[in-house]
Amino acid sequence: MLVNRVERGRYLDSVALMRVSRRLEALAGVEGAALMIGSPSNKALLRGAGLLAKEGEAATPNDLIIALRAVDEPAAAHAMENVERLLSETRAPAPQSLPQARGLAGALELLSGANLALISVPGEFAAYEARKALGRGLHVLLFSDNVALEVELELKTLAKERNLLLMGPDCGTALIAGTPLAFANVVPRGDIGIVSASGTGLQEVASLVARMGGGISHGIGVGGRDLDARIGALGTLAAIDALDDDPATAKIVLLSKPPAPEVAQRVLARVKASTKPCVVCFLGLEGGNSGQSAILAGTLTEAAERAVGRKLPATATAQLKKITGRVEGLYCGGTLCAEAEFAFRRRGLSGHRFVDLGADEYTRGRPHPMIEPEIRNDHVARAMADPAVGLVLVDLVLGYGSHDNPAGVLLKAVKGKKPVIASVTGTEQDPQIWSRQVALLREAGVIVAASNAQAAELAASCIG
């Protein structure tokens, strides 16, 4: 039985809606459930999942669609009766000390000195809000995804004309003047500036810098497509300019998956013209010196080490033995997954499997695994039970926005005698506390490496 209920003029946080959807699906007799704002892209998702009825088809982007597929009418009715209760349990009260406004104009009246807007609305509306903010002279962190590439180019061109930063779209992490934004870790202020086309890459390097005694001046996310040939690194080049002009920044670190070759050359040319030493990590390129002021790092760990000027302690390997079977890498962070896969390719190892569980095909209509790590547990349990898998490789990403105990969640699925190697991205000041998460894993027999790159290298060294 398929049931849709549409609530007019109701907008709720997408993560809260996803959590309620998962809890509804766990009720007896419910075969599928989703709560989504009635935007065209969301209705397409519901339609593809077989959850959209005629009532939902009529919803507008200002409406909330509650969609259920149940075995019979009583099961559907019982689930609908639970919706408000579940929504109320996910709703956190707004801090009374913070000013609140319903739009950009009202916000600027309350905070007249503001110079940055963080935008997190459905992609269909994100560009409109970003243009408004840029027009008011604000730098923009565009957290929203599903923004067309040509729109990204238009927004970044507009930002360049106005001498402003447009971070994103799909910018999940930033550290601006000591303030963590979106998914970010608590790190000390320092003189190292980071420009990153990867959210988890920025988190990994910033956390490693902090654990090695360094600090971050600013961490500027530019969105994962910035170094695409069609965007031409507009965000990256603007961020380098900003850090070059910043007296608090002494060194600059650039992070990205492999860029378009012509864009890489453009960025490296700009880096060489910088007045400050720069470390460039284009994952997939070999290390080496590319000029007097730019050094290429082969891994995120190496980028952090070169920026701080010291080596990360090596992970003890006494527990490790040779394995038969393949390595199964199950990742929350897309760039961390790519870094591990690259480590295997560099060694000439094939036949192993690396899965980015934060990719669109796994998160469509569901929370990101950094928010709800239970999404990964089914995959971990299957890998632990699969005789073809000899070792499981995972990442945990701490910080604001992430689950409050990802180690505890992961350990529910780690059953059996297969070795599990993990990396934990985070710091002691994060809400989850890095050392506590590491201790939980080690007490359960999980081998915890000092970094994601070290975890991948350890896994590769186990292959017989």
Query: pTM score, two decimals?
Result: 0.88
Q: Of 156, 176, 174, which Cα lies nearest the Cα of 166?
A: 156
Buried residues in 369-406 as b, exposed as e (16+ CB within 10 A): bbbbbebbbebbeebbeeeebbbbbbbbbbbebbbebb
CA distance 327 to 390: 6
| Residue-wise DSSP of 385-423 | H-TTEEEEEEEEE-SBTS-S-HHHHHHTT--SSS-EEEE
Angle at the Cα of 377 from the Cα atoms of 372 and 382, rounded to 5 degrees: 155
Whether 310 and 212 have beta carbons less than 8 Å apart is answered as yes
- Tokens 């082969």 — which residue? 298
For the domain made up of 2-90, the CATH class stated in words is: alpha beta
CA distance 394 to 330: 5
Q: For residue range 80-101, what is the model confidence (pLDDT) as tens digits?
A: 999 988 888 766 565 667 788 8
Per-residue pLDDT, 455: 97
- Which CATH code, of 3.40.50.261, 3.30.70.270, 3.60.15.10, 3.40.50.2300, is assigned to 326-461? 3.40.50.261
CATH architecture group of domain 113-170: 3-Layer(aba) Sandwich (3.40)
Pick out the chain residues at pLDDT < 50. Answer: 287-292
Cβ-in-10-Å burial (0-12, 13-18, 19+) of 99 comes to: exposed
CATH architecture group of domain 177-312: 3-Layer(aba) Sandwich (3.40)
- For the chain, the structural domain boundaries read 2-90, 113-170, 177-312, 326-461
Per-residue pLDDT, 158: 97
Is 177-312's fold the same as 326-461's?
Answer: yes
Q: Of 156, 37, 28, 240, which Cα lies nearest the Cα of 45?
A: 37
Beta strands at 251-256 and 189-196: parallel, antiparallel or unpaired: parallel
Task: Kindly state the helix (H) or strand (E) to which residue 157 belongs, with its residue range.
Answer: helix 149-161
CA distance 430 to 204: 13
